[in-house]
Structure 1
Amino acid sequence: MLGRSVSPVFVGREEELAELREALDEARKGNATAVLLGGEAGVGKSRLLQRFSEQIAADGARVLFGGCVELSTEGLAYAPFTAALRQLVREQGADRIAALLPDGAARDLARLLPEFGEPSADGETGTGRARLFEQFLTLLERLADSHPTVLIIEDVHWADRSSRDLIAFLSRNLRIPQVLMVMTYRSDDLHRQHPLRPVLAELGRVSGVLRLDLPRLSRDEVAQQMTGILGSAPHYTSVEKVYERSEGIPLFVEAMLESGTDCTFPDSMQDLILGAVERLPEETQRVLRVAAAGGIRVGHALLAAVSNLSDLELEAALRPAIAGNVLQIADNRAYVFRHALIREAVHEELLPGEHQRLHARYAEEISKDRKLVPPGRAAVELAHHWYGARADVEALVSAWEAAKKSFMAFAYTEAVPLLERVLMLWDRVPDAAERIGADHIAVLEKAAKAAQAGGEVDRSVKFTKAALAELDETREPGRVASLIVHWANLKISKGKTGVVEDLRRALKLVPEPGRARGEVLMPMSRHLMLRGEAAEGAMYIDEGLRLARELGDRCLEADLLMNLALGHSLSGDVEATISTNLRALELGREQNSGRVMIRAIGNNIDALLDSGRADEALKLCEEGWQVAKRYGRLRASGLFILNNWAEALEAVGRWDEALDTVERALSFSPALRTRHHLLRVRADIALGRGEVEPLEAILSEIGVLKERPEDFVQDITNSTRLHIGWHMLRNEHSAALEVAEGILARPAQSSKAMLGWRLLALLRTVCDAAEVTEPARARAVREHAAEVAAHLSVAGPVAKAYKLTYSGDFDASAAAWERLGRPYSQAKALTRAAKAAALSGDRDGAATRLAVALPLAEGLRATPLIEEIAALSRRVGGVQRAQEPSELLTPRELEVLRLVALGRTNRDIAAELFISAKTVSVHVSNILGKLGVTTRGEAAAAAHRLSLLTP
């Protein structure tokens, strides 16, 4: 920006500058991702960042600027990121920026800047927004390949919801060196309900995000500032009065000195700020009022048109404001108020009629020539100004147009208030439907979709209910059916039951073959399969496949094939499951549908794991994650890949990696049902390690301890298993029996072989433990379990291994688990076999088995099992095997210890090993305990003494 600086001297802030530079140094190493710079209005945040950016730019860093404006809260989505993109295009050209992204990715950025061509055709609400986020992440990573890159975003207290979400996404996922985001916000503006508050709280928990508060100036710093402005040292009494009245806020110090040096100051700070404006010529003040109605930044041509002045007249009127540093000249022939507080003070002085007339003038001129505002902003500007002008017809039409533009930019949360404005104005505009080409229900439907896509499930429910209440199912059955499917999806995301009943109603509304029926058959058949009602589900799949092929809808066909594969999985036909999913995968590739491809891959990961092919499953996890990243679905179906990945890692005993994967997935703020799936993996590991408090917290959250109703048999079975495990961990055998009785009393059990036999194996353990105290109940549970087992198929080596445990052939079970590479299950089976051997008098045999089980349990830190082995060893007289020093620690702990010995901090270790600092802290605590030391230095010394770090 050009324009006179009020204070030529940069006062104080050396400590804050040093912290910002240190943050950049940490970012160069990959240890820092963002800085949140808070401070009161006028305290000097912008001035500090100006000095910081000048210094780092001189050192070769690339600095990108983006600012939020008040208009962002009315639907101007991604304003700071659009500004940064525009800067890049201006400096390097759109082609060079597009070349940094994967093929076709620039078409997503075209939704924000027309320089990138035509937007991509994929308008899926569930994928487009996630893909756009991925493109920004990729762009920053590629820019950082050549230069340290700093993205400065000012005034995030005005940020739109989409920008806040993107900020949070980048802060969590920028894990490469040389990228830093610096964001400013007004700390005094953050009232209790401010939407930025939860974002700041979330980011405060993210490793690599730093908080920095900018304090007011001290008395001495105010004196230095006054000296810089006045050109000579002020009198002591003047310093005292200015400091006392300004309270150390630099903007107020400047305003006081501009008002005169006699220190006779106005009563209010607004009057003080307006003092510089009121000393300007009357025509200048009038034009400033016009400019204030246009926002903090207004283009020259637009201001000239609204104020009815020629270029020469406008320049003459504004010259005193620029000379007085009330306005500054920005790029692209625009004017910007030096500080938002000045613009706010001028705007508040507008009379009601004047305010209304000025907004009408802005709307009229922008309507005539949309090029008067930056590209992509016309629709939102018009909606803002027509609403401010109280012109109901124009406000309704422009809000509808702006909402559609927000949809195009995947800014769904910004579309919702615009659509609510359309609904609010509807009754004031008699021919509203004709003017926007959509009826009232269509607006409600669009609002429901926008709210769901933006994660506002409760608002989506409200719009959906309102639309259903207005519809007549006898006149528009297809439309009602479509809304019921939407309603069912909302119920799933809220963890509600009764989805199948809703879908049955929808099916009755569309009895004739057609697209509307096909859209109901797909979710209906899927949910029936998940509820264990396979026969009816298969019937609807057959009908749906015929219909999809008649319609030529290959994606619908693929979805139904995957429902069919789910049925094969439940019946135990693993090979049919895999081959059917592969057919769906090919259709997904043919249609270039990332959603279909990722679902098919995720389903086959699960099938491979059930068939004991863990290595193939883990390899497919990596492939699925790359597909999710390529199609911008990391935060959507990509999280199912991470969940499958965590399950695979947990199964093969790589528990720490599984926990890291769960934490990574949870950082994306998944939908409720996905979160519950991830937490169940974490719960399994907590159960194995005997971590009572974390386990209780997880089970409480997912509703296990309160036995929250669930629809899907798989979820019911897994939750029951965890519930029983929880009681067994606490030696509450009677309570465990009660849960077992409850699950067996259900009319339908899981027909999926692996899930069924796994549960039955656990029920045997419960009965064995409770037999002494409650023999009758234990016997009844055994008999009931045997009835279930009689109808359960045995498909695949994993199910067979669980069946061997259930049957009591523990040695064969241990051998099976060893072949499958599942150490925890192997160690448990060996322990059960050792107990059986001890009971038969074979003490040596028991000790031999325990000697094999112990290192397996120790490697997993499975404390309850280790204690059980130790207790049994004492009873049989076995001598526990002395561990070799290198066997004290797991491979991951050895990696951590090696870095501890090099003097690395937890944050350094986390960055190098791509895990969280919290996980590193847990590893370090375990290392200290195992080595019997209390400090990191002692641990390093012990490592060298025991030769643990020898290659």
Structure 2
Amino acid sequence: MRVLRAAAEGTAGVALVGGDAGIGKTRLTAELVSEARECGFNVLVGQCAELGDALPYLPLADALRGAEPAVREAASAHPMLGQLLPGTESAPSTGLTQQRLFGSLLGLLADVQPVLFVIEDLHWADRSTRDLLVFLSRMVQTERVCVVGTYRTDDLHRRHPLRSVLAELKRLPTVTNVELRPLASGEMSDYVATLGQVDAQELGLIVSRADGNPFYAEELFAAMAEGDSLPDGLASLLMSRVEVLSEAGQRVLRAAAVAGRRVEDELLREVSGLPLTEFEEAMREIVSRGLLRVDGYGYAFRHALLQEAVYTDLLPGERTRLHATFAHLLTAPAELAHHYLAGHDLAGALKASAEAGRLAERLGAPAEAHSHYDQALSLWERVQDAAVLAEESRAELAFRSAVMAADSGDNHRAITQLRVLPPTSEVDERLAYYLYETDDPAGAMAAAQRAVESARDESALARALATQARTLLWSPRHREVEDLTARALATARAAGAKDAEVGALLTLATYVEHRGDVHRAHELVETASAEGTGDLAMDLRARFHHARIHYEQGLLAQAAEVADEGVRMAVETGLNWSTYGTDLRFLRFLIHYVAGEWDQAEAVAAGFGARVGTLPEAILSSFALFIEVARDLPAVEARLSWLRPFWSDELAVYMSRGLAAEHALWHGDPAAALDHVRAALAPLVEGDASTLRLAAVGLWALAELGTTEGADELVSQARFAVDSGPTGERGHLGSEGLAWALRAEAEWHRVHGRLDVDLWRQVVAAFDFGFVYEVARARWRLSEALLAAGDRAAAQVEWELARETAGKLRAVPLENALTEFGRRARFGGGGAGDGGLTAREVEVLRLVAEGLTNREVAERLFIAQKTVSVHVSNILGKLEVSTRTQAAAAGRERGLLP
């Protein structure tokens, strides 16, 4: 209930409810659903089935089918969700289907909030549903969304796939774990009393036999009420209630148990083989005894334990025949495959498994598609005419299986499967792609070469050439890229292979950009972005690189325009959390940050989330540190604590430890800053442009420490990145890269005690392509250099410009540093005029003058109360007063207050 109330107030949360079968999980969630509806929540309830991986996204489809009309209408606006609704054909896959589905669900939950989404029986969840739960647990943050999942603890054996998921989710701060324990004797007595009248002896018997399990107690009470004897064990007790049914009733119930937890009325009647009148009479008997309940257009077992008990009691031949009967009547491929296998019809199982795999592929459930395809392949040698039944060859099916394994995140499984297939251009092209993704460049290049040599048509050749060029881009053979992409483009255009054409264009654009031909790179990326390829991943990739090249050339307005277009495309297609959808949002954040649009940047960063559990989330979260460190926001320390486990990754450590170094410098700990810089530099490839910023920050730290030890090494790394780059040749750095290179040189001179005015002027000019904050920081150092050179007037001009920018940005650490420098330099406006108050201190003073307490000021400014106390002490000291009232009066005298 606490999680639900928090969601109502705008803090999304997840509750995982575990307990033994019959302990009361369903009852608890039913009460939660009731309260949620009273509070105005839209409610989605879905249930996993024992068929497991056979039915991808079953609980989501179940929830959408049972949702209120307004929710179903909202879902239909998201095509990836609409196809889960009855009567909707699944659309052909256009790439990134699962990510689109996940993004669409996140969009739906935002559209219909407040919303409660309950997923029951997670111990039976398919892989894609488990992935969906993890996604929602990480992504819902400020939405009014509550997600609840229930699972049986007694079903979670040591290797159960849900165990690792639960362990991962329980580490998240927004996930609440609820473990339902058996009722104590007193609690059980009270519960039994709510069921009806029992005497003391019967009550004692029920309490002692139920062993704290409410469902068991209910069954014992029902058996006593019907005058039955009480057999030992829950299964025996449940079957004793089944055995009092008529022969027709038992026959129907056994058929229902083979169907699973739920079954449609018409299907159950056909499988039972009873005449309509006799079937309906049997159903009335079963429902009246509370064994099945009416559920929409069919029936559901009152409890999963009852369905399991009836199913287990079936004779082997009886079970096989019932499964076979269901298989002949069903049309859903996944259910067909399940019943065919249970009914020992291998040919039917192979055919249905192949169809189920194709359906799962279209629905965006690659793990289930891979599982179905592998099931069909495992039956291949035991079935005649397998290729006719599967409607494709064994090699084609195995290729599909490998691609689905990769799409579900298992590149290594995909590589293993592709390596045993007969070599073809298509097989080797995919193998090269996956080897490149798993950081095996030599293997990727070899596979790509084979793909080119074995291509039998122009489309295959175009894709092979585009992939080969990509594998060579950062290798010693990078000079071959231009010729390869030229061949790929000509071949792709002749064959109409748009995806290969765009892939080749983007690889060539990256190559010529690195060689310094930015104008040509622009033209190539614009061509790649001009038309859609039908491959959404490729289209987003094109827009990302288009915006990135604008950004790196310092064309911020154009970069923003293209990035906005890409973000819109990602949102509209449900791909805002895909790789390039996320990259586009990173880039849009950076454009805001660089352009000095810090309020917008902070708003975007708020969506990045501090809680992280995967590497992509860690990288996304790291970006928020740019604004949080620069404004000294309270979230910095918490975010860094969440990011520490990911500091083994090159990009995550570059981002987060590089900014942790700046945070340490602003807080007077240059030694810690230097440690961060050295750790961040360690995994970088020699010549990587990322070295430049880190080297500059490391040299800043050395200057603060007053030592030259290690300075030459840092500046050498920066110079090598400028002169050689990762391929051993001088590459194009872009506007920001060149500016950081100059900053590193200027900081190196500062370490050695030389405040070089001309060099710091060059740093200011280099960052003046629109990087507002770095221009201000460079002006600070330029002002120091000018003052040391004796040009006091020019120094004060630069100081005032820097201070004005810092105030507008609310860059508190820089404001404080400038104020301190201004006081030492005795610049006008930094001493007697306003007492040297920073912009944040003036802000605090104005609220203090209104009569607000420290707690109220903290709430108004979203900062810690302790921080307000420090600001107030500083204000009193700077204004040379002893009370808050005197501070307000002094502020008015100096014109700081209205």
Q: TM-score range by the shorter chain?
A: 0.7 to 0.9
**Structure 2 counterparts to residues 806-817 of structure 1, below 5 A:** 808-814=758-764, 817=767
For 1:481, the equivalent position in structure 2 comes to 428
Alignment partner, residue 330 of structure 1: 295
Match of residue 95 from structure 2:
125
The match for 2:572 is: 630
Residue 379 (structure 1) shift: 0.9
Unaligned 5+ runs, structure 2:
655-678, 875-883
Aligned twin of 1:222: 188
Q: C-alpha displacement at 1:519, in angstroms?
A: 0.7
What is the CA distance between 1:641 and its match in structure 2?
Answer: 0.5
Tell me what 2:551 maps to. Answer: 609
Deviation, 1:216, is: 4.5
Name the counterpart of 1:252. Answer: 216
Which of residues 445, 453, 465 in structure 2 aligns to 1:509? 453
In structure 2, C-alpha distance between the alignment counterparts of 1:387 and 1:151, rounded to whole Å: 33
Q: Aligned with 1:336: secondary structure?
A: strand
What amino acid maps onto 2:216 in structure 1?
F
Does the aligned pair in 2 maintain the 1:383–1:399 contact within 8 Å? yes
Equivalent residue of 1:700, what SS? coil
Amino acid at match of 2:99: A
Secondary structure in structure 1 of the residue aligned to 2:694: helix
Alignment of 1:532-571 (within 5 A): 535-571=479-515
1:462 aligned residue: 413
The answer to whether the 8 Å contact 1:238/1:263 transfers is: no
8 Å CA contact retained: 2:433, 2:444: no
After TM superposition, give the deviation of residue 52 of structure 1 in Å.
4.5
Given the alignment, which residue of 387, 396, 406 partners 2:341? 387
How far apart are 1:829 and its partner, in Å? 2.0
2:357 is aligned with 1:403: yes
Name the SS of the counterpart of 1:328 in structure 2: strand
Task: Could you tell me which runs of 5 or more consecutive residues in structure 1 were left unpaired when the two chains were aligned.
Answer: 1-18, 371-377, 776-804, 910-919, 934-939
Matching residue of 1:302: 267
1:101 and 1:135 in contact (8 A); partners too: no
Quick check: 1:484–1:506 contact (8 Å CA) kept in 2?
no
Asked whether 1:768 is paired with 2:734, we answer: no
The alpha-carbon deviation at position 639 of structure 1 amounts to 1.0
1:753–1:840 Cα change, 3 Å: same
Amino acid at match of 1:270: A
Report the Cα offset of residue 648 of structure 1.
2.1
* Compared CA separation, residues 296 and 487, structure 1 to 2 (3 A): same
Q: 1:190 to 1:729 in 2, by over 3 A?
A: farther
Residue identity opposite 2:275 in structure 1: S
| 1:625–1:634 Cα contact (<8 Å) kept | yes
- Say which SS state the counterpart of residue 732 (structure 2) adopts: coil
1:752-767 equivalences in 2 (<5 Å)? 752-754=733-735, 757-758=738-739, 760-765=741-746, 767=748
Q: Please give the residue correspondences for 1:178-189 in structure 2 after superposition, counting only pairs within 5 Å.
A: 180-189=146-155
Q: Give the secondary-structure state (helix, strand or coil) at the position aligned to 1:464.
A: helix
Equivalent in 31, 45, 48 of residue 65 of structure 1: 45
Displacement after TM superposition at 1:499 (Å): 7.0
SS at match of 1:470: coil
**Identity %, equivalent residues:** 26
Which residue in 2 is equivalent to 1:471? 422
Structure 1 residue 825 and structure 2 residue 774: aligned?
yes
Residue deviations 1:694-732 (CA, integer Å, cap 9, x gap)? 68766533276487777897xx32156437745864768
Deviations along 1:5-37, one digit per CA (max 9) or x if unpaired, are xxxxxxxxxxxxxx2xx6555444433355444
2:583 aligned partner: 640
Q: Is the 8 A contact 1:154 1:183 kept in 2?
A: yes
Residues 746 and 759, structure 2, Cα contact 8 Å, conserved in 1: no
**Separation in 2, partners of 1:115, 1:949:** 68
- The 3 A distance-change label for structure 1 pair 406 and 278 is same
Would you say the 8 A contact 1:137–1:170 is kept in 2?
yes
Contact 2:699/2:714 (8 A) holds in 1: no
- Read off the aligned partner of 2:759 and give its amino acid letter: D
Partner amino acid, structure 2, of 1:401: E
Residues 216 and 249 in structure 1, CA contact (< 8 A), matched pair in contact too: yes
- For residues 890 and 427 of structure 1, what CA distance do their matches in structure 2 show? 80
Deviations 1:252-277 (A, max 9, x none): 11122233389985443333343323
CA distance 1:544–1:635, change in 2 (3 Å): same
In the alignment, is residue 275 of structure 1 matched against residue 240 of structure 2?
yes
SS in structure 2 of the partner of residue 604 of structure 1: helix
Aligned-pair CA distance for 1:675: 6.1
Deviation at 1:343, TM superposition (A): 1.4
Q: Secondary structure at the match of 2:84?
A: coil
Alignment of 1:97-496 (within 5 A): 97=72, 101-102=76-77, 105-106=78-79, 108-109=80-81, 111-116=83-88, 118-121=89-92, 123-126=93-96, 128-144=97-113, 149-173=115-139, 180-191=146-157, 193-200=159-166, 211-214=177-180, 216-217=182-183, 219-230=185-196, 232=197, 234-235=199-200, 237-260=201-224, 266-281=231-246, 284-332=249-297, 334-366=298-330, 370=331, 378-429=332-383, 431-455=385-409, 457=410, 460-472=411-423, 476=424, 478-488=425-435, 491-492=436-437, 494-495=438-439
CA distance in 1, matches of 2:568, 2:145: 22
| Compared CA separation, residues 548 and 712, structure 1 to 2 (3 A) | farther
Give distance in 2, aligned partners of 1:949 and 1:324: 80
Q: More relative contact order in 1 or in 2 (CA 8 Å, sep 6+)? A: 1
Does structure 2 retain, via aligned residues, the 8 Å contact 1:717–1:750? no
CA–CA separation in structure 2 for the residues paired with 1:465 and 1:941: 75
CA offsets 1:456-503 (integer angstroms, 9 cap, x no match): x2xx3223233223324xxx3x23432333323xx42x4554476346
Q: How many residues are matched? A: 838
Alignment deviations for residues 543-569 of structure 1 (CA, whole Å, 9 cap, x no partner): 222222212334443443333433453
CA gap of 1:400–1:901, structure 2 versus 1, over 3 A, is farther
Give the secondary-structure state (helix, strand or coil) at the position aligned to 1:152. strand
Contact 1:724–1:736, Cα closer than 8 Å, also in 2: no
Residue matched to 2:658: none
User: Is the alpha carbon distance of 1:559 and 1:944 closer, same or farther for their aligned partners in structure 2, counting shifts above 3 Å?
Assistant: farther
Q: What RMSD, in angstroms, separates the aligned Cα atoms of the two structures?
A: 4.8
- Deviation of 1:644 (Å): 0.9
Note closer, same or farther for the CA distance 1:623–1:905 as it changes in structure 2 (3 Å cut).
farther
Instruction: Give yes or no for contact 1:734–1:770 (8 Å, CA) kept in 2.
Output: no
Pairs within 5 Å for 1:888-907: 888=840
Query: Partners of 2:354 and 2:606 in 1: how far apart?
Result: 40
Q: Tell me, what secondary structure is at the counterpart of 1:612?
A: coil
Does the C-alpha gap of structure 1 residues 441 and 92 become closer, same or farther in structure 2, counting only changes over 3 Å? same
Q: How does 1:11-90 map to 2 (within 5 A)?
A: 19=1, 24=4, 26-32=6-12, 34-54=14-34, 57=37, 62-71=42-51, 73-88=52-67
Aligned match of 2:839: 887
1:904–1:301: structure 2 CA closer, same or farther, 3 Å change rule? Answer: farther
Aligned match of 1:700 in 648, 667, 677?
A: 648
Q: 8 Å contact 2:602–2:624 — kept in the other structure?
A: yes
State yes or no: 1:722 paired with 2:701. no
Q: What is the CA-CA distance between 1:213 and the residue it aligns to?
A: 4.8
CA 1:811–1:194: 2 relative to 1, 3 Å: same
Counterpart code for 2:745: R
TM-score normalised to the size of structure 1?
Answer: 0.75
Residue 756 of structure 1, CA deviation:
5.0
Q: For the structure 1 residues 752 and 521, does the alpha-carbon distance in structure 2 shift closer, same or farther, using more than 3 Å as the test?
A: farther
Change (3 A) 1:429 1:901: farther
Q: Does the Cα contact within 8 Å between 1:810 and 1:829 map onto a contact in 2?
A: yes
- Is the 1:688–1:863 Cα contact (8 Å) retained in structure 2? yes
In 2, the alpha carbon distance for the partners of 1:665 and 1:607 equals: 24
